[in-house]
A and B are shown apart, each in its own frame.
Chain A
Amino acid sequence: MANLKSIKKRIVSVKNTRQITKAMKMVSAAKLRRAQENVVAARPYAAKLAEVLERLAKSQDTDASPLMVKRDGGRALLMVVTSDRGLCGGFNANLCKAAERFLRERKGDFSEVSLMTLGRKGYEFLRNRHQVRKNHGNIFSTLSYQTASLIAAEVIEGYLAEEYDEVYIIFNAFKSVMTQDITIQQLLPVVPQDSGEEEVQTQYIYEPSKGALLDELLPKHIDVQIFKALLESVASEHGARMTAMDSASKNATEMIGKLTLIYNRARQAAITTELMEIISGAESIKG
């Protein structure tokens, strides 16, 4: 029966798909562990730097550095961090939608918006709808602090040349394997975080000087923030892909079960018809 053969073929093809999704899940799980370690390792550095920056900024006028001065131009740059590869559920689509929502909501505040995309998927999604200034693709496979530092240098250069007045970054923050938190963060001008606690005024010796130190620390702060966003995004991507591939494997297993049932029923029906034919044939000879 031709039908039997086609069902068998489908079972084999679904089985192949399941094999691939299973393998991808394993790969993502391994990569996720490494990415997670990186995120955890980068945290103390970022936290310490923010702490120092806060202390320095408090004892200094806010217009001490051009990177901290608020400008009224209203031209914004939004950095969108997505992945280079797909097959990770709603990871990229959700982020792009959130980016668009952000732009819609803040429309009144910005006179002009340009985008910088980090990751191929975001670029492909957004390039037709918005003005994309630059895309950095292919940075995630060889992600290092240097990569982040180069991107930061480019952003700062544009900022100082007054090509834009505010810089935001939107990325998937890693919360757990199953959940990603879409986070929008203001990068420039730098607003030092306020931990709220009253500083004990210690008299520091500054070398060379407070202003010079601040000027050196601020670009580093941007570096670290971008680096952290990229790391978190990578960890989230692998988490998202792992869950997506896990459910794909489950669906494939379920489908194989259903198809096997249909196949067996069809086979049984074929056998029954054949038997009936033989019996009726024998009956007719007897009679």
Chain B
Amino acid sequence: MAEKLKVELVTPYKKVLSEEVDEITATGALGEFGVLPGHAPFLTSLKIGELAYKQDGVLHHLALNWGYFEVENDKVTVLVETAERSDEIDLERAKAAMSRAETQLKSLAPEDKSFRVYEAALERALIRVQVAGKAKR
């Protein structure tokens, strides 16, 4: 298959990815989706989640924070606030963040303003641990 997707993944700090890939999957606002070359123009927001892409038969994983995803003419543009490659993730830190968020959540009621904050923190930590686990395999 000659056709490839050109992916650009940008955060406010740097350009994380700029590569040609065969396939890409991510978690959108309405759930997980996959994109192959020849996809129709598509625009969605991303939730805290995982982004995986296949390049030359190898799967790569990234943990993403809030973001936005666009496909047009086999060109994929991803804007995210943070993105970490699976091998860049500090597993210890993510686990510590997870337990910290968990204890905070236990002491808070769902009505509290900071409840959402810790919930999001927990979600982020969970994804990080998940993605980091995939790198080891």
Contacts and interface: CB of A to CB of B under 8 A. Distances in A.
**Are the chains A and B members of one assembly?**
yes
A76 B89 CA distance: 43
A42 B13 contact: yes
Contacts of A44: 10, 15
A203 B41 CA distance: 7
A204 B77 CA distance: 14
B68 A205 contact: no
Contacts of B70: 52
A49 B45 CA distance: 12
A38 B79 contact: no
B28 interface: yes
Contacts of A69: none
Contact of B81 (A38, A145, A205, A213): A145
A150 to B, nearest CB: 11
Nearest to A148: B12
B44 interface: yes
Nearest to A210: B43
A212 B47 CA distance: 14
Given A41-B14, A42-B13, A227-B12, A204 B43 contact: yes
Contacts of A213: 43-45, 68
Contact of B41 (A42, A56, A205): A205
Contacts of A38: 13
Interface string A35-62: 0001001101110110010001000000
A224 interface: yes
B44 A206 contact: yes
Contact of A216 (B30, B45, B81): B45
Bin chain A's interface residue count. Answer: 20 to 34
B108 interface: no
Greatest chain A CB density within 10 A among B10, B30, B40 is at B10
B13 A41 contact: yes
A52 B72 CA distance: 12
A202 B75 CA distance: 14
Contacts of B66: 220
Given A205-B41, A206-B43, A213-B45, A42 B29 contact: no
Nearest to A51: B77
B77 A48 contact: yes
B115 to A, nearest CB: 16
B109 to A, nearest CB: 22
B47 to A, nearest CB: 11
B7 to A, nearest CB: 13
B42 A208 contact: no
Interface in B6-58: 10-15, 28-30, 33, 40-45
Contact of B42 (A41, A205, A212, A224): A205
A207 B70 CA distance: 10
Contact of A205 (B10, B13, B40): B40
Given A145-B81, A208-B30, A45 B44 contact: no
Given A145-B81, A205-B43, A217 B13 contact: no
Given A52-B68, A202-B41, A204-B41, A145 B29 contact: no
Nearest to B65: A145
Interface string A217-236: 10010001001000000000
Interface string B56-71: 0000000000101010
5 contacts: A48-B77, A145-B13, A145-B81, A204-B41, A204-B72
Given A52-B77, A207-B33, 7 more contacts: A45-B79, A49-B68, A49-B79, A207-B28, A213-B43, A216-B68, A217-B45
Q: Which 3 A-B pairs have the closest CB atoms?
A: A207-B44, A204-B41, A205-B42
Interface of B: 10-15, 28-30, 33, 40-45, 66, 68, 70, 72, 77, 79, 81
